[in-house]
Each structure stands twice: as C-alpha cells, then as structure tokens.
C-alpha cells in the first residue's frame, strides 16, 4: 500500500486533521507492523519520533538495578551507552574512577559488557543505590557476546571497546559513548530503542522499527483527549490497512468530506497519484476501492444531506446469490464508507440493483449511552421443538498463550468442529448436541483487553462439516496472567462457555499456541428451554488493590451491551463478611452498629430491621453498578418487573439477590422490593480454565428417586416436619423412590452419593461456611455431629452420576450458599456441585430461622410439584416465608435456569 493511500486512510480516521493525520501516516509508514506508542508531551503540539528497536536475551546483572520492584525491571530515558569487552588481568578496582571520566553521572548509563567482574558491578550497584548515578549493567558471559556487542554498538552509533582493560583503566582515557532514546532491562531480557531521526542513516539499523507520537495540549484534559483520539484513529487505520474495512460505518468519511481542509488534502493526493490510479495495485483494500468509487461519482450513489435529523446512513447488502455469512466485517455496521452526495435531480437506472439499504436514525438501535424506555418486555420467542434434530460439535479455539503488552493486536479464532482438535486451547470436555437449524452466538468477555472487533458474533452450524471461524481482535492493556471468557448461546439460553488463560508480558515474546485439547459446548436441554428475558454477566478482575467489576447485559433476542468498568477499592470478601454479620445480627433483632462499637445491646423493632435491609440493598445498587447501567434501568424498570433473569458472576461473594434499585432523576423513585422478589432471579457459574462452573444450566430436572438428609439429633423443631412433608409429597403423592438413609451419617451419605440413582437430595440440618478453607472446613452437619464437606464430591462414581443425571441439591442449612476463593478458583458447595454437573443448587447465604426455613421449603416444593419454573417457585417461596423483621426469606441463593422445571415420576 502506498504512502498516499495510508495518508488518505489516516485523514479519514482523524476527520481531516492534517497535522495529526500526516504524523500518523508517517508513523505507520515507518513502523509498519511494529509498535506505535502514543505518549503525553509537555506543552502543545505533536511530535513524531522514529525509533529502531533491538531486544536480546540478556538482562540486568543484578536485581539491585531494578527501579520497578514489582516487575523487577529498570527503565532509562535518554541514556548513554557504553559497549565494551573486558580482557586481560585488569585491575577492576580502577573501573569506577575511569567511568567518572568517561561517563559523567549527570546522564543515565547503560553498560553492556562481556567479562566484567563482580567488583565493577558492585561498585555500580552502590552508585545506583545511593542515587549518584542512574545506570543498569547487562553482563554477557565470556565468549558469548562478540556478535551481540557489534549489533548493539551499530544501533547506538558507537563502537565496541576491546582494548586491554588494564591499559584503558590505568590511563584513565575517555572513550566514545553511544546513545539510546529508551532502555528497558529486566531479568533475562533487554529492549533497546534508538531515535533514528529522519531515518536517513539506516544502513546498520535492524529492520525492527517502532514509532513514538508525543501529544501535548493547553491543558492535561485536552492532551488526554487528543491521545485517545489518536489511539482510536491508529486502531481504525491499521484495521483498514490490514482487513480492508474502516470501523465506524463511514461516519468519519462523511465528516472528512465535509471539511474543506480535508477536501483539499484528498484532492492533492489524487492529483499526485495521477495516471497510476488506473493501474492495478496489489492489496488494495475494499475501503480504498469504495473511496475511489465515491471520488469518481456515479449513478449508484445516494443523496446524503449533511447534518440535522435527515442524515441517512448506508449499509452494504450482499450481492445476489452471495452467502451473507461468508464475509465477517471488522467492527462496523457497514463494510463500506458512506458515499458522497449525488447531484440533485440525478436518477438511478432501474436495471442497476442498489448495493445499499437506506435507513433513518429513527429505525436504528439506541446508542450505548442512551437510556431508551422499554415499557414492555421483548416479544417472547417460541421454544423449538424438543425433538429437533441435533449434531455433536466441539469448540476449537486458537490464540497465542503469551503476548507482549505493546502488541497492537492479536487474534482469537473460534469455530465449532465435528472432531476434537488437538491444537485447541480450550479445555477438553465431551461433544454436545446442537441444532444446526439455529445459529450459536459467541460472546467474548476480556476485562483486561481492548476488544477491537464486535464483542458478540454468530456461528452457523452446518449439518455436516466444521463451521466457519469467527475472529476477535484484542489488544492487551495489563500485565500478568489474564483470562479470556467465551460464552455460547443458542435460542437465547447459555449453552456453554470456554476460558483461555493467557500471559501478557512486559517484553516482546514469540507467540505460542499451547494445545490443551478440544473443548465442547455441552448442554442437556437448556437450549430447548424458554430463554430468560435477561442474562447479566458480571466479570471480576482480581487484584491486591480490590479488583474491578464489568457488567454485560444480554436481553432476549438482542446483542449484549457492556457497561462502564467499576473499580473496587477493597476486597469483596471483606465487604460481604461484614454484610453477612450485620444480617445475622438483624435476624436476631440486634443493631449491628451498636454491637460493633461494644455498646450495650439494644433490641430494635421489626420496621427498623426491614429499613436497614433496604438500606443495604440501596448501598449495593449505588456502590457496585455503574452510572450508565443505573440510567438504563431507570428508563426500563417497568419492563424488568416480573421478568426472568439469570446472573453469571465470576466472583463468589456478593449477594446480588439483595440489590434494591433506586434513583433521583428525572424524579425520585425506588423499587418496592429487591431483585429476588421483583423478578424470577437465579444464578449460574461459568466454566473456567480450572474446570470450575458448568457450560449451561439444565432446563428439565428429572426426578425418579429422592433422598432426604435430616439428622435426628439436630435439635431443629421444624426439621422433622420438613422431612415428613417431603416424604409425603414426593414419596406418597408423586410415587417417587425414597432412597433416604435411616440415619444420615457421613458413611451412609457418601455411599448414597457414590451409588447414584437419585434425582434430588434435600438436607434439613445445620451448616457452617469457612471463607479460609471453603472446600475443606465448610460443613453440612450430619448424624452424630459428623461433617460433610464439599471435598466429598469427587471421584469417578459421584461425578459421572452428576454429569449424566444432573440432579438437584437443596441444602436448607445456614450459610452453605456462600462461596470464597480456593486454591484454583471458587470454593464451596455451589461450585463443587455445579462443576460436577448438578442441575440445581439452592441454599441460604446467611443464618436462617427454623420456622421461616420450613415455610420456604413447603411453599417451594408445592410450586415445583404444580409445574412452576424454578425462578417463579423460589420467588413465591420467599413471599411465603416473609416475616417482618426477619431476613430469612431473602437469604436463599439458587443456581439454576430460571425457567427450568421439575419433571417428577417414572419415565421422567
């Protein structure tokens, strides 16, 4: 691609800003596929530096040179470079004095040396530590540095000093030094950047190139805005050059054409191109071809009035007979830019089919920032027939497992294949049935990356053969181990997920695709259920400072929307530990503040308890949800009432059921109830890289046999009544097999789990949860005070039954719905059972009252026996257990599909 064409693309991306577009085009022309850095600059204006880079696999000679203690790295700006080879019996004690003459301490120094002794290195460490000299030493073992030293010297415009060091040190003669714009040294690697100026003297410069754009402004805010604009333009320009499509649907092109300066710029470049425009050129992008078509004009162009409500947009339609799914455009509603205005009165020939579909802004979806009222829920989609033909497909994911933080982008490729791929980076699971008649939507969650392509894409399943791939483009923004999460949806239901762990490094690395086997989208019947009206994905980034939350909402039948990232200043674990303690005190009728301050305990009335619980819900809403989400909810809250929603959260602590929305604009309002009462609300856990979570919830929970775990020595007055009620409802009325042990000892319960054959296990007893050891010390208390911990759910017999039968588990025992971090992910009963394949898990998050727990259980099973879906049944059970001044009815957390139903009886 010629420099003129690159200039035209950059001018379009920057809407005719000549200074910025010229600098960006020059940077792209120089760096090519190398990195282009955009950094702040003191004062105003824009400066371009053309850099040459070199990296080699030798790092600092001592960790004491590190200026970044966390990454153990050292960065030097505008430093001198001394390249030398120390030979002979040099008295290295003379080295520091000689260095004072050769390299004054006022300027930073990089010393690249072969054969330098430990005494000289220690002397430089001492100077560096006391602040006398900013320096770093890269020591190369003897006999390994000849070629490397020559390359470093050539790049930094100096020479390798190979005189006998004894003579050099004793005479105290200064030597020639090189220079570098920036040096980054870490353990085992060094990156050297040199400013090559105009690029005139490039004979000895390596082909690894980079560029630096320094952007200033009158104020810091203006400078930051200009940098963001340049970064966006850089991404768009490189996408257009590489993929032939300019992101933005052509809006920038319209603005550029409307600007006189841009028009003059385009005219000058067209004249400069001259007759060469008609000659065939390699790699001409679709964007440039369409650009030329606009410049030439023609009868197939639209009337485009500029400005106002009459502005039309254009979307490219596939040619007659073309496969509309064969082209996958890069992040734009339209693969071509908007055409220029057609002269008034011009007509389009009737025989020429229009390649555009015209639409007005009124027909478009609302922008991401707008809060558009939704007075009614989206129209319900009829679920497909259960006997729809299915095919088995595996997930094949390809992406580099290690990448450099400075990389402009990398690709993540996803497809569904007939046979498992040994090269896939997804975890291995079994094949699953999918319906080829309906597309599978793939959504990417990448909190620590800039996603340069659409977050959600569609895969069509052929009846035979592998699917076409979909490609996501990403740019890393943070160092360390990072997770990329892929969610698969069919018919509006979550049917699978895949996680890929990647490492982002501070230095350039060779990308590697590590094979981990082929993953699969696995589901039993969730894809055949009625989809929930909303799915809320909550991604959690862990960090010592507290982490961050990112919310993505997917409405039924629509593409998902991601909201502003919410940074957390403290750990969610500390927050919820305090919250659960307050709830436990409120259940006992005590004021948490008075108790925490050690004052005499005062009883509080029921109305005060309910008010404090509402305040907790208000606080969750205000503190955890971003402003754009709250604005959206305020406009749509009537449509959310009585709807169904499933929450898929990556963090194990926060009680989302307690969220109680409110607002002050345009008028004061608040919901009458928290989310768990205003909606049919459930949760689920996504499959992660360590095998936690599950691909998709079951839609049909089939029960032919059940087991009741009710110890006789629990001293809970309502527990025997609970056992009697369930035995009568399930055993006598529904004629199900009762496999309950006579005494629920640990031995009997473990034998029950191992033998399988059950579809439901219900426990009514005491429970305790441990945040420090959620899998080992968390206890479901059985007969004789014996504990059953989540660690009991392991082994081939237990896990194979859970994976095949997908049974339901209801633990009516305090605190067992909680989760916490374990060694490799989320720990606790919920993750252990769901990961093994359970179709439902329900338990309280905090302490519950015995009588209210029984009322909840009784109402829950009556609703389920009458055919109510799980979400509605739990909601009605909460209402039945509700009692003023007691938060028991809010304590229950359910992991399941909100529209899942129990199927009781023989032949289920």
Over 60: is that where the pLDDT of 322 sits? Answer: no
Residue 32 C-beta-side C-alpha neighbours within 13 Å: 4
- pLDDT: is 274 or 743 the higher one? 743
Which residue from 444, 510, 440, 490 is spatially nearest to 471, judged by alpha carbons? Answer: 444
Question: What's the CA gap between 688 and 615, in Å, rounded?
Answer: 34
SS3 of residue 752 by DSSP = helix
Q: What does the DSSP 8-state code read for residue 363?
A: G
CA distance 503 to 63: 22
Apex CA 421: angle with CA 416 and CA 425, to 5°?
85
- Sort 848 into a burial class: Cβ within 10 Å, 0-12 / 13-18 / 19+: buried
Q: Assign residue 239 a region (left: φ > 0; alpha: ψ between -120 and 50; beta: otherwise).
A: alpha
Q: What average pLDDT does range 739-765 have in this prediction? A: 95
Token reading at 291: 């650009």
Where does the pLDDT of residue 600 fall: very low under 50, low under 70, confident under 90, or very high at 90 and above?
low
Tell me how far apart the alpha carbons of residues 156 and 179 are, in angstroms, rounded to a whole number.
5
Give the span between the Cα atoms of 245 and 712, in whole angstroms: 70
Q: Kindly report the CA angle at 136 between 134 and 140, in degrees rounded to 5?
A: 160
Residue 145 burial (CB < 10 Å; 0-12/13-18/19+)? buried
Write the DSSP string, 446-471: -TTEEE-S-SEEEE---SSSPPPPEE
Task: State whether the Cα torsion 772-765-794-819 is positive or negative.
Answer: negative
Q: Under the phi-then-psi rule, with left for phi > 0, alpha for psi from -120 to 50, and beta for the rest, what region is 20?
A: alpha
Of the candidates 551, 412, 550, 428, which has an alpha carbon nearest to the alpha carbon of residue 486? 412
Between CA 749 and CA 676 the distance in angstroms is 32
Range of weakest confidence among 15-29, 351-365, 856-870: 351-365
What's the confidence (pLDDT) of residue 691?
Answer: 56
Across residues 364-385, what is the average pLDDT?
Answer: 39
Per-residue tokens: 813 = 């025992």
Cβ atoms of residues 507 and 185 within 8 Å: no
131 touches 94 (CB < 8 A): no
pLDDT of 850: 94
Round to whole Å and give the CA distance between 647 and 681.
8
- Specify the 3-state DSSP secondary structure of 434: strand
The residue that leads in pLDDT, 464 or 313, is: 464
Cis peptide before 666 (omega within 30 of 0): yes
Among 177-191, 264-278, 519-533, 847-861, the minimum mean pLDDT is found in 264-278
Query: Distance from CA of residue 810 to its chain's centroid?
Result: 32
Residue recorded with tokens 């330098």:
116
Q: Measure CA 522 to chain center.
A: 21
Q: Return the DSSP state at 131.
A: T
The mean-pLDDT minimum among 27-41, 92-106, 322-336, 447-461 falls in 322-336
User: Of 183-197, 252-266, 685-699, 804-818, which range is least confident?
Assistant: 252-266
**Helices marked H in 654-693:** 675-678
pLDDT tens readout for residues 449-470: 888 888 889 998 887 888 888 9
Q: pLDDT tens digit string along 250-309? A: 555 545 444 444 444 434 444 444 444 333 333 344 444 444 444 444 333 333 333 333
| Helix 3-13 with 251-258: angle, nearest 10 deg | 100
Predicted local distance difference test score (pLDDT) of residue 437:
77
pLDDT (0 to 100) of residue 396: 86
Inform me whether the pLDDT recorded for 473 exceeds 50: yes
pLDDT of 567 higher than 60: yes
Phi-psi region of 223 (alpha: psi -120 to 50; beta: other; left: phi over 0): alpha
β partners of residue 780: 767, 788
Q: Which of 775, 836, 776 is nearest to 800 (CA)?
A: 836
Spell out where 739-839 has E strands. Answer: 760-764, 767-768, 779-781, 787-788, 808-812, 820-821, 826-827
Least confident window among 192-201, 402-411, 507-516, 715-724: 507-516
Return d(Cα 640, Cα 374) in angstroms, integer. 9
What whole-number distance in Å separates Cα of residue 624 and Cα of residue 636? 19
Give the whole-angstrom CA distance, residue 456 versus residue 444. Answer: 6
Pairing of strands 493-505, 402-404: parallel
Q: How far apart are CA 660 and CA 620, in angstroms?
A: 7
Strand locations in 102-252, DSSP E? 109-114, 135-140, 178-186, 189-195, 209-215
Q: How far apart are CA 664 and CA 534, in angstroms?
A: 24
């Amino acid at each position: 691609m010629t420099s003129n064409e690159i200039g035209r693309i950059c001018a379009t991306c920057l809407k005719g800003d000549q200074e910025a577009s010229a600098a960006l085009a020059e940077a792209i022309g120089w760096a090519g596929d190398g990195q282009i850095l955009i950094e702040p600059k003191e004062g105003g204006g824009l400066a371009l530096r053309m850099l040459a880079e070199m990296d080699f696999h030798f790092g600092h000679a001592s960790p004491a040179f590190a200026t970044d203690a966390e990454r153990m790295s050292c960065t030097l700006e505008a430093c001198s470079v001394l390249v030398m080879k120390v030979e002979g019996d040099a008295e290295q004690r003379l080295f520091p004095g000689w260095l004072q003459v050769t390299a004054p301490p006022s300027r930073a120094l990089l010393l690249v040396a072969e054969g330098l002794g430990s005494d000289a290195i220690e002397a430089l460490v001492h100077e560096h530590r006391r602040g006398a000299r900013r320096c770093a030493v890269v020591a190369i073992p003897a006999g390994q540095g000849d070629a490397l030293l020559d390359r470093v010297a050539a790049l930094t415009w100096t020479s390798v000093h190979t005189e006998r060091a004894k003579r050099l040190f004793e005479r105290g003669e200064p030597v020639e030094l090189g220079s570098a714009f920036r040096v980054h040294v870490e353990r085992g690697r060094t990156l050297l950047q040199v400013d090559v100026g105009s690029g005139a003297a490039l004979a000895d410069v390596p082909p690894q190139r980079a560029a630096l754009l320094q952007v200033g402004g009158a104020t810091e805010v203006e400078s930051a805005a200009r940098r963001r604009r340049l970064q966006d333009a850089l991404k768009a320009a490189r996408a257009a050059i590489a993929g032939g499509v300019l992101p933005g649907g052509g809006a920038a092109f319209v603005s550029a054409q409307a600007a006189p300066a841009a028009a003059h710029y385009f005219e000058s470049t067209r004249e400069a191109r001259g007759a060469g425009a008609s000659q065939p050129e390699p790699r001409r992008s679709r964007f440039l071809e369409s650009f030329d078509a606009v410049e030439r004009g023609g009868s197939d162009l639209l009337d485009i009035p500029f400005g106002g409500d009459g502005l039309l947009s254009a979307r490219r339609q596939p040619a007659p007979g073309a496969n509309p799914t064969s082209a996958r455009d890069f992040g734009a509603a339209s693969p071509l830019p908007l055409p220029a205005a057609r002269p008034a009165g011009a007509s389009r020939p009737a025989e020429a089919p229009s390649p555009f579909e015209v639409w007005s802004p009124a027909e478009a979806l609302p922008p991401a920032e707008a809060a558009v009222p939704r007075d009614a829920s989206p129209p319900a989609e009829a679920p497909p027939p259960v006997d729809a033909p299915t095919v088995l497909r595996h997930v094949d994911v390809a992406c580099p497992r290690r990448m450099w933080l400075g990389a402009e982008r990398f690709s993540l490729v996803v497809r569904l294949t007939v046979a498992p791929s040994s090269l896939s980076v997804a975890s291995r699971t079994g094949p699953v049935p999918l319906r080829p008649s309906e597309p599978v939507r793939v959504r990417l969650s990448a909190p620590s990356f800039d996603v340069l392509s659409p977050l959600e894409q569609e895969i069509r399943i052929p009846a035979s053969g592998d699917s076409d791939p979909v490609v996501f483009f990403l740019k890393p923004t943070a160092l360390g181990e990072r997770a990329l999460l892929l969610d698969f949806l069919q018919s509006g239901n979550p049917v699978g997920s895949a996680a890929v762990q990647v490492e982002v490094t501070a230095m350039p690395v060779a990308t590697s695709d590590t094979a981990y086997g082929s993953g699969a989208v696995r589901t039993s019947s969730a894809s055949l259920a009625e989809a929930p009206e909303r799915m809320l994905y909550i991604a959690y980034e862990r960090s010592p400072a507290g982490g961050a939350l990112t919310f993505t909402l997917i409405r039924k039948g629509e593409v998902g929307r991601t909201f502003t990232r919410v940074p957390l200043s403290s750990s969610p674990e500390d927050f919820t530990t305090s919250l659960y303690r307050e709830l436990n005190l409120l259940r006992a009728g005590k004021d948490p503040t008075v108790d925490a301050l050690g004052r005499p305990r005062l009883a509080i009335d029921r109305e005060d308890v309910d008010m404090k619980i509402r305040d907790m819900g208000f606080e969750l809403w205000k503190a955890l949800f971003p402003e754009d989400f709250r604005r959206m909810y305020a406009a749509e809250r009537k449509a959310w009432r009585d709807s169904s929603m499933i929450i898929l959260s990556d963090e194990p602590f926060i009680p989302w059921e307690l969220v109680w929305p409110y607002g002050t604009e345009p008028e004061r309002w608040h919901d009458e109830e928290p989310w768990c009462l205003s909606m049919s609300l459930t949760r689920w856990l996504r499959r992660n890289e360590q095998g936690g979570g599950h691909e998709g919830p079951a839609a049909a929970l089939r029960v032919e046999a059940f087991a009741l775990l009710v110890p006789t020595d629990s001293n809970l007055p309502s527990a025997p009544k609970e056992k009697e009620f369930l035995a009568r409802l399930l055993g006598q009325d529904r004629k199900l097999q009762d496999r309950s042990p006579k005494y629920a000892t640990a031995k009997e319960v473990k034998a029950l789990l191992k033998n399988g054959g059950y579809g439901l296990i219900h426990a009514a007893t005491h429970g305790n949860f441990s945040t420090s050891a959620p899998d080992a010390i968390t206890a479901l208390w059985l007969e004789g005070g014996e504990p059953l911990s989540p660690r009991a759910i392991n082994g081939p017999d237990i896990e194979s039954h859970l994976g095949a039968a997908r049974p339901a588990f209801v633990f009516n025992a305090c605190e067992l719905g909680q989760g916490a971090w374990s060694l490799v992910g989320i720990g606790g009963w919920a993750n252990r059972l769901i990961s093994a394949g359970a179709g439902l898990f329900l338990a309280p998050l905090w302490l519950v009252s015995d009588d209210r727990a029984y009322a909840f259980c009784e109402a829950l099973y009556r609703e389920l026996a009458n055919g109510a879906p799980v979400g509605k049944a739990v909601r009605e059970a909460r209402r039945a257990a509700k009692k003023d001044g007691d938060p028991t009815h809010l304590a229950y957390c359910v992991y399941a599909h909100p529209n899942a139903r129990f199927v009781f009886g023989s032949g289920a």
